[in-house]
Structure formats: structure tokens, C-alpha cells
Amino acid sequence: MQGDVVRGKGPRTFDNPLDGLRYAMIDDPVRFRRVPVLYPLPLPHEPWGAMLPLKGTSWGEQVPTVTGEALSHALHGHPDMLLEMLGRPPKGRPLRLTMEDRMCLEAQQGSCELAGSHCTPGSGKLPECYLAPCEDRTLRQIAVAVGQAWDEGRYVFVVKGPEFTLR
């Protein structure tokens, strides 16, 4: 993938980790639908990019790795290879986390009057105020973005290997 250097200033970095996430819609013309996805822009020698804080955590275990070739085919209207690699539907991913790992931090601390069963990714009603139960601020920001993506039915994955483009 091109772009490991931004405007000649060295390796790509992001002031805000959420800037390193790519939200996209992939057309599936055979099934007449659009598939929402979220994946990180890779860093040099690190495909996890902005999602690196999730790597090795219970949250990161629920983020599958796909090939650049599968993503490229999907972006060009042939998503079958990507969807096969992704497997489990996105709303099922957070359900594999323990309740302690996914329940909102403020709900766990008892500091939210509106806390309830909807305060977990996968509920289908995740509130905007959701805070992932993580101590590290950057990890929390990324986990919130991933949790919200799962809750809205968006596939979340990491791309390993080069992509290609058709000219």
C-alpha cells in the first residue's frame, strides 16, 4: 500500500488515533447490499496501525486479519473472499467478550444513572456516551470506535499484505 510517508515528513503518524481508521461501504452487487466496514490504515511494518493498542487484548482477539488481496477484490465489487475471511457477523463479535470487558466503565463504577443492559457493544442500542472499560486513554478511544462499529453492524478487521488497484 502506498502512503507510508506523508508529504515527505517521515512515517505516517496520527495526532488523533481515530484519524487512522478508515470507514467504508463495500458494494455487494450479487446480494444487492452494501457492507459497512472499519479498518486501520497500516503503519510501516505494522498492519494494526491505529488499532495497535487493541493487539493482544480480548478486544483485539475479536478483530480478524484479512489479506490485502481480499480487501482489493471487495473494493472492486467482489466481496466474497473478504466476507468469507471475516466470518462471524459484527454484532456477534462483542458477545464473545466477558461482560466485564465490554460493559461501560461508568456503568461498572455505578456513576451513571442511565446505565443498563444497553451499555454494551452488541446490544444494538449502544449510547453515544459509552466508555470502554480500559485504563489507557488511547486504548479506550479505539475500543469505543470498534464497539460502536460492531453495534451498528460494521465489520472491523486488520489488513495484512499489499492491496492492488485496477487502472
Q: Could you give the angle at the alpha carbon of 64 between the alpha carbons of 63 and 66, nearest 5°?
A: 140
Q: Which domain holds residue 94?
A: 17-160
**Pairing label, strands 21-28, 33-40:** antiparallel
Does residue 64 form part of some domain? yes
**Grid coordinates belonging to 163:** 492491496
Place of cell 444494538: 124
Does residue 111 form part of some domain? yes
User: Could you list the pLDDT tens digit for every one of the 167 residues in the chain?
Assistant: 333 334 344 445 556 778 899 999 999 998 899 999 999 999 888 999 999 999 999 999 999 999 999 999 999 999 999 999 999 899 999 999 999 999 999 999 999 999 999 999 999 999 999 999 998 999 999 999 999 999 999 999 999 988 766 54
Residues facing 46 on adjacent strands = 43
Contacts of the segment 114-121: beta carbons below 8 A, 24+ positions apart = 120/94, 121/93, 121/94, 121/97, 121/146, 121/147, 121/148, 121/150, 121/151
Determine the 3-state secondary structure of 161 from DSSP: coil
**Grid coordinates belonging to 20:** 487512522
The whole-model pTM stands at 0.86
Does residue 144 form part of some domain? yes
Does residue 73 form part of some domain? yes
Does residue 152 form part of some domain? yes
Does residue 130 form part of some domain? yes
**Sheet arrangement for strand 33-40:** 21-28, 33-40, 155-156
Does residue 3 form part of some domain? no
Does residue 12 form part of some domain? no
Structure confidence at residue 14 (pLDDT): 59
Q: What's the number of domains the chain is made of?
A: 1
Q: Could you give the angle at the alpha carbon of 50 between the alpha carbons of 46 and 54, nearest 5°?
A: 90
